[in-house]
Amino acid sequence: MKNIFKEFFFSKGKFKPPYFWITVFLFLIVVMFILKLCGVETISDKLILGCLGFVIAWVGIYTWYDKNKPAISPNILSRIAEAATPEPRQEHPRHDTDVVAQ
């Protein structure tokens, strides 16, 4: 039973949060559909179709990005790290005109 649930949330041995949320949304959609079949009037067809469209778009975008994401080379990572480190503050040299005469 543990391995059955694992297939819904893991891909290539890693936990994928979008798979978890997609499973939760699909479960809620199934519950809404069953309630609609039982005659509950507060659940509209537009709500069910909107939720299904959201999940389908999310799956499509996520799988497209997962397939086409750019490979990051170590050289790029080092440049990102260099850009993220702040430069030390430099003090401005004092001019003689800054000193107030006594």
51 in any annotated domain: yes
Which domain covers residue 32, as residue numbers? 13-71
**Mean pLDDT of the residues in the chain:** 77
Q: State yes or no: pLDDT of 5 exceeds 80.
A: no
Tell me the pTM: 0.55
| DSSP structural state of residue 41 | T
36 falls within a domain: yes
Inside any domain, residue 37: yes
Higher per-residue pLDDT: 2 or 30: 30
User: Does residue 80 sit within a domain?
Assistant: no
Q: Does any domain span residue 63? A: yes
Q: pLDDT band at residue 83, thresholds of 50, 70 and 90?
A: low
41 within some domain: yes
Domain total for the chain? Answer: 1
Question: 23 CB contacts (<8 Å, ≥6 apart)?
Answer: 8, 9
Q: How much is the pLDDT for 69? A: 74
**pLDDT score, position 17:** 78
**Average pLDDT value for residue range 6-27:** 78
Is residue 34 included in any domain, yes or no? yes
